[in-house]
């Protein structure tokens, strides 16, 4: 009996170490894609992607920086190939830099997860065309023109920079708030929501179009 009690603590210690060493869920594969572009004479950035969690913040004045973290949630060959196929492509139209995250697969939604982090000079205009996901934007002082098919979009902005805000949600909620200001969306066909605010003393505008979901602007 004493022999059994002697080995039991050691066995428990080994099992505990194994539990710590082996995570409950191990990511099968991931990939980091990075890009940096000098600002130069650029006045705007347009970013297109399919499905992601996207964070856009103000960065340094000299460059636009993008980091993509892509992860397969399983070890299927299809997902691995899709992971390797992802690429950032670029082209310039006038003073607008246009960047796409290309070759996101049409199949197996949920297998491939994308986190995208964008840093741009605060004064640059920003345009977005995104299919599905969550978008957080903070610290930008240029014009914003944003389209999101399905998901949630939140913007933190300063009222002194803005002249107008126009939010249009096909199915869902839209609102502007901050300080003593709270503007709820006007109902459209009982399911949609629209907000228009044009009381700012600045010269910039925010325009948001969400198909299904929520659009929120938080003003200082």
Judge whether 102 lies within some domain: yes
Residue in the structure block whose two tokens are 């600002």: 39
Judge whether 1 lies within some domain: no
Judge whether 96 lies within some domain: yes
Per-residue pLDDT band for 168 (boundaries 50, 70, 90) equals very high
pLDDT of residue 105: 82
pLDDT of residue 185: 53
Q: Report the percent of the chain where pLDDT is more than 90.
A: 61
- In tens, the pLDDT along 88-98 reads 999 999 999 99
Task: Please give the residue range of the domain that contains residue 191.
Answer: 30-219
User: What is the rounded distance in angstroms from the CA atom of residue 200 to the CA atom of residue 206?
Assistant: 11
pLDDT of residue 209: 97
State pTM to two decimals: 0.82
Number of domains in the chain: 1
């Amino acid at each position: 009996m004493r022999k059994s009690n002697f080995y039991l603590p050691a066995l428990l210690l080994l099992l505990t170490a194994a539990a710590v060493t082996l995570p409950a869920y191990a990511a099968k594969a991931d990939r980091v894609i990075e890009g940096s572009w000098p600002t130069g004479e650029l006045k705007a950035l347009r970013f297109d992607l399919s499905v992601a969690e996207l964070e856009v913040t103000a960065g340094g004045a000299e460059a636009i920086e993008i980091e993509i973290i892509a992860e397969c949630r399983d070890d299927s060959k299809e997902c691995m190939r899709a992971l390797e196929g992802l690429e950032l492509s670029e082209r310039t139209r006038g003073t607008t830099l246009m960047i796409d995250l290309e070759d996101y697969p049409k199949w197996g939604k949920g297998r491939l997860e994308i986190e995208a982090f964008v840093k741009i000079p605060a004064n640059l205009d920003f345009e977005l065309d995104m299919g599905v996901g969550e978008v957080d934007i903070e610290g930008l002082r240029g014009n914003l023109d944003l389209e999101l098919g399905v998901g949630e979009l939140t913007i933190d902005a300063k009222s002194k920079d803005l002249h107008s805000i126009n939010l249009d949600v096909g199915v869902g909620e839209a609102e502007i708030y901050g300080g003593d200001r709270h503007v709820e969306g006007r109902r459209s066909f009982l399911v949609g929501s629209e907000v228009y605010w044009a009381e700012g003393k600045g010269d910039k505008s925010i325009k948001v179009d969400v198909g299904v979901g929520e659009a929120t602007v938080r003003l200082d």
